[in-house]
Structure 1
Amino acid sequence: MKLKIPEATIIRLSLYLRNLCEMERKGHVTISSEYLAKSLGIKSALVRKDLAYFGEFGTKGVGYDVKDLHAQILRIFGLNANWNVAIIGEPGLAVFLDNNFKKRGFVISSIFNLDPEKVGTVVNGVRIQAMDSLEATLKGKNTRLVILAVPAPVAQEIADKLVKAGIQAILNFVPVVLNVPPWVKLRNVDLVMHLEILTFCVGTQRVRLVESRGKRPWIGQA
């Protein structure tokens, strides 16, 4: 029976990875679970529990070897080898993501766009292709990860094409609900929703500030 890893653990592993990368860059040799936990504002027992899902790491009384733990978590994520990533839609994402992506093992290997005027132009060394070459290119480059940032009306149609091309994971920036088979992993990034949450928090904070000053708040006030 395959052990089910909690999603919260996977998220924290990604944060551990960032911290270990920084620690290794600074020349640290060992790190304790307490130090790693403190940097994330959690308890050290949770760090040890997260790592225990994947085996035994570190030495009691000494801590973890930074370089080794970094390598082990990279292996857990499958990042001990590069992953080809395709961008469907907004080519500006390639510029925004490229440097950080490369450091973490993700290579933007292809970009596709619906606009004929953008096809053929080069972004960060990658030539933008037309959608009719989608399936052949993705299969030819063994691409399994896609970032989707297209107009909402065509998102499902393109998602269907991605499934046909053998894509296994989609990071969806389009504010629509996509229907994909269960073997395709889908993560939605709804920027508008996150902005609405932020405006709610800012608005609530402003109301509390007004109330603390003894004034009657008007919610719609700018």
Structure 2
Amino acid sequence: MATGRTHRPATRSRGIPEATVARLPLYLRALTALSERSVPTVSSEELAAAAGVNSAKLRKDFSYLGSYGTRGVGYDVEYLVYQISRELGLTQDWPVVIVGIGNLGAALANYGGFASRGFRVAALIDADPQMAGKPVAGIPVQHTDDLERIIQDNGVSIGVIATPAGAAQQVCDRLVGAGVTSILNFAPTVLTVPDGVDVRKVDLSIELQILAFHEQRKAGEDGGAAAAPTPQAAAAAADQGPDGDVPAVMPA
């Protein structure tokens, strides 16, 4: 079985915009649901509605994949599932390590969606010696002293950081030094990485602040006068894309 070190997704080399790449998982989720219901074809309007985008944007995104559908028929669901999975690099096995097995890390380890989407949790790592050897989601936790060896032994190129903020940069540096080139960061801090390393940041507090901004704006509209936004909300609004979209996962 192939591992994450044998292949990189083709999206960048094919010139697919990052905004399109960010929407491909949304299309794949909607298509997978259609496939599970044995739906053979889907129109751009139906798929766009299921993915939460407009149909013109969907057709533009699919044009980067070389898929244009068939007039009067739509898109072949199974073929699109394969095509998008291939572009995202999900037709192979991606070993992943999770560092920081507190409440969040343990919840991630127990998440059943990784395996069905091409990701295998190869190791769980924590700095607490008392955690060493304890099984979480059927996987024994290993100590951070062995991080580099674990990365090398499992051919890992994707790491998940679920540590406290104060430990995240050091863990990041060690992951990168061991050969990890993609990091999903749940720690509430911004990581510094060298060129060639991709970081995606998941910050639930930021997402809640964005929702608070929209709730405040709606309340202001209902009351006839919008209240002045908080600095956090103003920053959230400034981070919106040219189409007014706020990404579900904020890039670092």
Q: TM-score, normalised by structure 2?
A: 0.77
For 1:17, the equivalent position in structure 2 comes to: 28
Deviates more, 1:74-83 or 1:92-101: 92-101
Aligned pairs for 1:1-222 within 5 A: 2-92=13-103, 93-96=105-108, 98-209=111-222, 211=223
Structure with the greater relative contact order (CA < 8 A, sep ≥ 6): 1 or 2? Answer: 2
Provide the C-alpha distance between the structure 2 equivalents of 1:50 and 1:188, rounded to a whole number of angstroms. Answer: 24
Deviations 1:69-118 (A, max 9, x none): 11111111110112111100035434445211122111111111111111
What SS does the aligned partner of 2:149 have?
helix
What SS does the aligned partner of 1:139 have?
helix
Tell me if structure 2 keeps the 8 A contact 1:24–1:66: yes
Query: How many residue pairs are counted as aligned between the two chains?
Result: 216
For 2:237, the equivalent position in structure 1 comes to: none
Q: Which runs of 5+ in 1 are unaligned?
A: none
What SS does the aligned partner of 1:198 have?
helix
Q: Which runs of 5+ in 2 are unaligned?
A: 1-11, 230-252
- Identity, in percent, stands at 40
Q: TM-score, normalised by structure 1?
A: 0.87
Give the aligned CA root-mean-square deviation in angstroms.
2.5
Task: Report the AA paired with residue 67 of structure 1.
Answer: E
